[in-house]
Structure 1
Amino acid sequence: MIRTLLRSSSALLLALVPLLPVPASAAEDQHGTARPDPVVFVHGWNSDGSTWQIMADRFRAAGWPADHLDLWTYDATRSNATTAARLAEEIDRVLERTGAARVDLVTHSMGALSSRHYLKNLGGTAKVDAWVSLAGPNHGTDAARWCGGAPCIEMRPGSEFLSALNSGDETPGSPRYATWRSPCDMVISPGSSVALNGAVNNTTACLGHSDLQADQRVYEEVKKHLR
């Protein structure tokens, strides 16, 4: 009799299991579909987050939730090390807001430098899945000799900041690194500055320095890298 009751109780519990609510994963939407990592966009010198609008709209149309696209604006007159600390705070806010475990970083021009400092020196590799540099002066640019202030000095070839940033492993940790350079970019000189050891280094069609952010083909390649 007791065994019969136990078997009946077990059968009832098994029947109810599918009816119990299952907590949704932070990486899935309400339909159980895997959600992409949030994307934090990092602009360059003398710029702001609005320059990413075209690319962000394309990501949104491709299925990225609006709250997973962060067109971050920062004070580009400050040292890249200072910006890296602010970026760390921004990424923590995005992770808390979205419930994601890691973000993807998509950077343009000088934005590559603060984000790389974050990855190398501020523990960012644990919070970033994929990193993208569009026209980044990763080894400096002669154009920075014509502007002043801390970030411009840091962008000059051979600067103390760049020497430290590029010492040892240029692509540390587990993030997937990729760069894009244009043969017609007149701002990054020499053009070879963009490529990094350990990254997937790409060359675009003949595009201007800021055109990489809006180019359809570059977007498609970046999206494939993030996926």
Structure 2
Amino acid sequence: MLTARQRLQALPVLLALLTLCLALPAASPARASSARHPVVLVHGYNADPGVWGALRADLRAAGYSDAELFSFGYDTHQSVNEVLAGRLGAYVDQVRRETGAARVDVVAHSFGSLVSRWYVKFGGGAAAVDHWVSLAGPNRGTSTAWACALWDQACRDMTPGSYVVKNLNSGDETPGAVKYATFWSNCDEVVNPDDSVPLTGAANTPVGCLGHNDLLGDDATSAGVRAFLSS
């Protein structure tokens, strides 16, 4: 039997154990939220990270914190395969280091789809990306890119039959264990033909008659992206 003095000496230990036990249940939600991947947003040609304002707001409303949302900014007039895909890869590695996440989700608009696809297919991104989303991406090229192809490398990369387009669509269009999705409009004034966007092996979603940039702020498209990221 413990003496009164021994009981008093044991009291701090008992209190510490009680505090630890009470703290354990609170750890469960943190473990659950860690299953969600950070999201890397990749803008399109002649754009900047500011285009993601609406989607970022929707993702925050869905429970993402600012520490889980990242926007890759880059010079959109450079080569997909020689420059930009590698820079995106370095950025994704930085995000993974900062967050401790093994994988990220990528959402790309327009030209950003080619940059991020090259990174996934040829730059090691298949091991670092869990979900990949293309909004109005010229995945099989677009005839409108001929208008600037004479002086702009990125435009040349977007033309139908370019080195970039041919290689991205050779063999498996959606390689690895990455989950792929595309969202496309039948009224897209930039991506021609409209069916350049869908990919074999991806979840391809038509969004109706929307302008090329309208997909960035469309509520139904945003809901579809959020549902896909949570799948």
TM-score under structure 1 length normalisation:
0.87
Equivalent in the alignment of 2:192: 189
Matched, 1:121 2:149: no
Matched, 1:49 2:49: yes
Equivalent in the alignment of 1:5: none
Identity between Structure 1 and Structure 2 (%): 45
Q: CA separation in 2, counterparts of 1:133 and 1:197?
A: 13
Q: CA separation in 2, counterparts of 1:194 and 1:101?
A: 28
Shift of 1:147: 1.1
Deviation track 1:32-78 (CA, whole Å, cap 9, x = no partner) reads: 43242110000111011110011001101111011111122111011
Equivalent in the alignment of 2:109: 108
Gaps of 5+ in 2: 1-12
Q: CA separation in 2, counterparts of 1:171 and 1:144?
A: 23
Q: CA separation in 1, counterparts of 2:140 and 2:185?
A: 15
Letter in 2 for 1:75: D
Q: How many residue pairs were aligned? A: 211
RMSD: 2.2
Gaps of 5+ in 1: 1-11
Moved >4 Å (runs of 4+): none
TM-score under structure 2 length normalisation:
0.85
Shift of 1:17: 10
Q: CA separation in 2, counterparts of 1:160 and 1:126?
A: 24
Shift of 1:206: 1.2
Q: CA separation in 2, counterparts of 1:173 and 1:93?
A: 22
Shift of 1:157: 0.4
Matched, 1:69 2:69: yes
1:20-99 alignment, distance < 5 Å: 29=30, 32-35=31-34, 36-81=36-81, 82-99=83-100
Q: CA separation in 2, counterparts of 1:159 and 1:33?
A: 43
Equivalent in the alignment of 1:153: 156
